[in-house]
Chains A and B, each alone.
Chain A
Amino acid sequence: MNPELLIHLILWSPLLGFVLNGVFGSRYNSSIAGTIACLGPLVGFIATVLLYFSFQQPIQFSYYKWFGSEDQFSVDFSVMVDQLTLLMLFVVTGVGTLIHVYSLGYMGHDKGFVRFMAYLNLFIFSMLLLIMGSNLVMLFAGWEGVGLCSFLLIGFWFKNADYNKAARKAFVMNRVGDLGFILGIFLTGFYFKSLDIPTILSGLQDIQPNDPQIVLITILLFIGVCGKSAQIPLFTWLPDAMAGPTPVSALIHAATMVTAGIYLVARMSGLYNLAPFTLDIVLWVGLATAFISASIALKQNDIKKVLAYSTVSQLGYMAVALGCAAYSTAIFHVMTHAFFKALLFLGAGSVIHGLHGEQDISKMGGLHHKMKSTHLVFLVATLAIIGCPPLAGFFSKDEILAAAYNHGKINFIILAVCSVFTAWYMLRLYFGTFHGTFRGTDEVKNKIHESPMIMLAPLFVLAILSAVGGFAGMPDIISEQHYVSQFLKPAVSDQPHHVSHFFEYVLWAVTVLALVSIAWFTNRRYSTSDPSVFDKSEGFPASLLKNKYYLDEIYDTLFANPLKALGTWSKNVLDPAIIDRVVKWPGNLVTEAGQGLKPLQSGMIGWYVMSLTIGLLTIIYLFLF
């Protein structure tokens, strides 16, 4: 088929779903609305598969000229599909379709079901705009679109004030990052006289490494990345974003939207290669993010919070890969992470669904009898994320560790500690949820049920992907074919890495040993009937971790409270003293003038006629003399 036609299909079918459901959704029953919503990404996925098989070289075309002048600077509404886009398309439409199907079951009884599905479609459309946009403005439009959908979906249950606060927090923190991004776009346009990504990347030959302007541009873009991809210091919105329904957490806050920042850096890889200084910043921010959030996850009891911090930590891994200039590795991890993290969230959603809304793991336990299928897929996902060979997470994480090792021993050590943390908190979650004995109330216990087939089917598909997805990128000691990096080669400019085979073997052996011992410890500790083991948080490191390093409090003290104080001061002092006076005096003038002239309206007709006569006489007098 004609590739352009396929691109039209991919891009516009989710938007069509959104418009149909958003405008007419309340007219027909929810099963039709659900079908329409699922068809949006499904059509996109099928078209992506067809596009993949007919793909020869990058396609770029313009719908129309957006703004700008004829001969100088102009921006088109144009899309581009190259290898990187194609891989992201698979992730977005594929995982997106599965999560849409899952939502049919998970959200089916919700009153806002149609609205929910419409938002999901709008999200998919924005995400597609983001990854298919061929210039930075298009990318930014999608970037803001996904931010909007994230806001709408976090606050989906808008009657709960806390959820609205979480939505607002996500939105505001993203704005902070977006300010950097938009400044980066301006500077790019100023420096390169174009915002078209291929044009920018092809005009880089004459630029020296660490050119100050390039460094500035890349840093500004990376600030945007920090906001969207939840890197330090802008990551605190992501754990709160778990207020949204679980499919949202899976789709937006784990699999797709938060990887947009990683995608952006990979897309601009040529630019970042010219700024080793920025790459170092990316590397260290990634390391700090991975470490801090992984350590916080150790002490969280809310099943979705653990997964949220785990997501932040994995995004930190991806940033580390970017910082090592191993862009295709980062994208590879984006892909495998999308599989297993979506699966983890959906599995957690299945658990929450089965327990009628319980999210606290200290009140779970022993669920593997009652929820066999969920247990199975959750186990696969857990093994995948902790890097157990040969599941998906193993290969991508192994690559990131190798890249980090290549870049410096200290990076490797920090990341290795993070991996140990990852294994610990994931296995704690797994054993705490599915093993031991049930620790909740009897009332809940009697009502535990396995989720319906429509929710389980996407889980199985994702479980298969989590299990075998890693074979797309095997290290060179197993196979010469690293499919992902070869496929992405024309689109992203990796810097070469080489790790000795001996190191690889040692790494594997240590991984397996560490995982087995952690599994043994966590099993002994958390496969229990005693809920108090989850709450032990006395002492120095534990309470610090339990309270998330007090980061929210620190941000409140440093930024939120001063701003609130400024607002209060302005309301109580500035406004009455200056603004009110300036604005109110014309009003007061008119009021007082009216008061003064009021007696003229005496209501006595004679008086009116007299004034009329006097007025007339005056006019005549003035005219005649």
Chain B
Amino acid sequence: MENQVPEIFNVIPHTHYVLLSTILFVIGIIGVIVRKNVIIMFMCIEIMLNAVNLMLTSTSAYYSHSGGQIMVFFTMAVAAAEVSVGLAIIVMIYKNLKTINIDAFQKLKG
């Protein structure tokens, strides 16, 4: 009963979920590192978040344990808040620098 894997994992193995979320996460990281456009970087961050969400949901389903899925709800709520703040920051960057190229924003240099 306890380790009863749901039917769906017979069609699509759990490994695929793991691989997919890993690939998404790496795409997100590389995007943040290499891209200069702030909005693109922001989207990459969202990709990373959702990669993690996918990982949590699939794993939680695989183990028939609701903890991971509950966590995803929290993550989504926080992500929504983070998006609003992040976009506001991007708007302010644009207003101040007249560009959204991240290389122009280096005031935190030591």
A residues adjacent to B (C-beta < 8 A): 597-606, 609-610, 613
Nearest chain B CB to A155 CB, angstrom units: 52
Question: Is the CB of B41 closer than 8 A to any CB of chain A?
Answer: yes
The answer to whether A609 touches B106, judged by C-beta atoms less than 8 angstroms apart, is no
Query: Whole-angstrom distance between the alpha carbons of A343 and B3 in the complex?
Result: 111
The answer to whether B102 touches A606, judged by C-beta atoms less than 8 angstroms apart, is yes
Question: Is the CB of B103 closer than 8 A to any CB of chain A?
Answer: yes
The answer to whether A609 touches B109, judged by C-beta atoms less than 8 angstroms apart, is no
The answer to whether B110 touches A604, judged by C-beta atoms less than 8 angstroms apart, is no
Query: Whole-angstrom distance between the alpha carbons of A604 and B110 in the complex?
Result: 11
The answer to whether B110 touches A599, judged by C-beta atoms less than 8 angstroms apart, is yes
Cross-interface CB contact of B110 among A600, A606, A613, cutoff 8 Å: A600
Most buried by B among A599, A602, A603, A613: A603
Question: Is the CB of B33 closer than 8 A to any CB of chain A?
Answer: yes
**Chain B interface residue count: which class?**
10 to 19
Q: What residues on A are CB-neighbors of B95 within 8 Å?
A: none
Query: Whole-angstrom distance between the alpha carbons of A610 and B107 in the complex?
Result: 19
Nearest chain A CB to B82 CB, angstrom units: 16
The answer to whether A605 touches B110, judged by C-beta atoms less than 8 angstroms apart, is no
The answer to whether A603 touches B29, judged by C-beta atoms less than 8 angstroms apart, is no
Other 16 A-B pairs with CB < 8 A, given A603-B109, A605-B105: A599-B110, A601-B109, A601-B110, A603-B105, A603-B106, A603-B108, A603-B110, A604-B103, A604-B106, A605-B32, A606-B33, A606-B35, A606-B102, A609-B32, A609-B33, A610-B33
Nearest chain B CB to A48 CB, angstrom units: 75
Chain B: CB-nearest residue to A616: B29
CB proximity to A under 8 Å, residues B21-59: 29, 32-35, 41
Query: Whole-angstrom distance between the alpha carbons of A625 and B56 in the complex?
Result: 24
The answer to whether B33 touches A613, judged by C-beta atoms less than 8 angstroms apart, is yes
The answer to whether A603 touches B107, judged by C-beta atoms less than 8 angstroms apart, is yes
Task: Return the 3 tightest CB-CB contacts between A and B, nearest first.
Answer: A601-B110, A603-B106, A603-B109
Nearest chain B CB to A590 CB, angstrom units: 15
Q: What residues on B are CB-neighbors of A601 within 8 Å?
A: 108-110
Query: Whole-angstrom distance between the alpha carbons of A133 and B86 in the complex?
Result: 76
B residues adjacent to A (C-beta < 8 A): 29, 32-35, 41, 102-103, 105-110
Nearest chain A CB to B43 CB, angstrom units: 14
List 13 A-B pairs, Cβ < 8 Å: A599-B110, A601-B108, A602-B106, A602-B109, A603-B105, A603-B107, A603-B109, A604-B103, A605-B32, A605-B105, A606-B32, A606-B33, A609-B29
Q: What residues on B are CB-neighbors of A613 within 8 Å?
A: 29, 33
Chain B: CB-nearest residue to A594: B110
Q: What residues on A are CB-neighbors of B102 within 8 Å?
A: 604-606
Cross-interface CB contact of B34 among A598, A599, A602, A606, cutoff 8 Å: A606
Nearest chain A CB to B90 CB, angstrom units: 12
The answer to whether B29 touches A605, judged by C-beta atoms less than 8 angstroms apart, is no
Q: What residues on A are CB-neighbors of B35 within 8 Å?
A: 606
Query: Whole-angstrom distance between the alpha carbons of A609 and B36 in the complex?
Result: 13
Q: What residues on B are CB-neighbors of A609 within 8 Å?
A: 29, 32-33
Query: Whole-angstrom distance between the alpha carbons of A613 and B34 in the complex?
Result: 13
Chain A: CB-nearest residue to B36: A606
Chain A: CB-nearest residue to B26: A613
Query: Whole-angstrom distance between the alpha carbons of A599 and B110 in the complex?
Result: 7
Query: Whole-angstrom distance between the alpha carbons of A598 and B109 in the complex?
Result: 9
Nearest chain B CB to A619 CB, angstrom units: 15
Q: What residues on B are CB-neighbors of A603 within 8 Å?
A: 105-110
Q: What residues on A are CB-neighbors of B109 within 8 Å?
A: 601-603
Q: What residues on B are CB-neighbors of A604 within 8 Å?
A: 102-103, 106
Nearest chain A CB to B46 CB, angstrom units: 14
Q: What residues on A are CB-neighbors of B103 within 8 Å?
A: 604
Nearest chain B CB to A538 CB, angstrom units: 77
Nearest chain B CB to A172 CB, angstrom units: 52
Nearest chain B CB to A602 CB, angstrom units: 6
Nearest chain B CB to A449 CB, angstrom units: 76
Nearest chain A CB to B97 CB, angstrom units: 13
Cross-interface CB contact of B41 among A599, A602, A605, cutoff 8 Å: A605
Query: Whole-angstrom distance between the alpha carbons of A610 and B102 in the complex?
Result: 15
Q: What residues on A are CB-neighbors of B29 within 8 Å?
A: 609, 613
